Structure 1
């Protein structure tokens, strides 16, 4: 049996204080590690769920889900690409160039009531509409345009409407036939 500790300055007293301090450090360290382990397990549950899967099984499941998502995204991109191509094809047929030319068809001072309108698509094809006004009558003509050229002979005003439209500035004032400006 150990002799009683009467004095903390004796060897037995110093060893006892050191052992008590070491025990206290061990208890604090154990509590800190237990708290840290609890946080790690909570984080692990957040990632892995409540199941019994280990990290490798969970990673394999994530990989499988990622591959499925990647395949879905690739399919969606292919579908969208097809839709964009269809939309671009349709836009090629939409009116891309236009112009309006006003003029006096009969050289009268009638306020430039006659007009020629060019409506062309991206391939420079479309239609030219001409409305010729006279005092007692109005006539409307429509002529097909393919690749910037009329299928029938175009009047000078119709030709000018096509030319102004293809210059790309259909909103700019243009001179009409017989020296009149629009």
Structure 2
């Protein structure tokens, strides 16, 4: 029995040991893959409290549809604002001046309020020692059907 390593039992033990070693390696590889898959699963599921991924997909689909509806609503509102914006009287031009040489300082004014299409009005306040008079003239395409003073024209130019 000098050659114990030539016995069939020895070969069987060595073969079983190799199989066990291969199974241990395979289990460690599977364990690392399972750990990576578990991390990905937790990243997707988060703290939703839902254990079924189908429920998560259905919930996400509902949220996406709600977001689409909200985006459509916002786009409609944006179009409404963009269509109304050119008609808003947002251009202002003001000039102060001394209308009469007999008193005071630059207490008279001309104020032009117009939109992008140069429609609006020009207001003039003429201040004298005794009274202040305010006049309004409509503006269409930068012009008025009433005669404009040089100060009113300058206020319109500033507003443009």
What TM-score, normalized to structure 1?
0.63
Of 119, 125, 133, 1:125 maps to: 119
Aligned residues between the structures: 151
1:140-180 deviation per Cα after TM superposition (whole angstroms, max 9, x unaligned): 112221221224322221111101211xxxxxxxxxxxxxx
Equivalent pair of 2:122/2:156 in contact (CA under 8 Å): yes
In the alignment, which residue of structure 2 is the partner of 1:20?
13
In the alignment, which residue of structure 2 is the partner of 1:11?
6
Superposed displacement of residue 104, structure 1: 1.5
- Change in Cα spacing, 1:130 to 1:163, as seen in structure 2 (3 Å) is same
1:49-128 matches, within 5 Å, as 62=57, 71-108=65-102, 110-128=104-122
In the alignment, which residue of structure 1 is the partner of 2:159?
165
Q: Secondary structure at the match of 2:7?
A: helix
- Change in Cα spacing, 1:30 to 1:136, as seen in structure 2 (3 Å) is same
> In 2, Cα distance between the equivalents of 1:33 and 1:68?
41
Cα-Cα RMSD: 3.4
> In 2, Cα distance between the equivalents of 1:39 and 1:142?
82
1:23-48 deviation per Cα after TM superposition (whole angstroms, max 9, x unaligned): 22311221333344456567379379
Gaps of 5+ in 1: 167-182
1:66-123 deviation per Cα after TM superposition (whole angstroms, max 9, x unaligned): 7666554443332211100112233323343211111121234521211001111222
Larger radius of gyration: 1
Of 149, 171, 182, 2:143 maps to: 149
**1 or 2, which has the higher helix percentage?**
2
Gaps of 5+ in 2: none
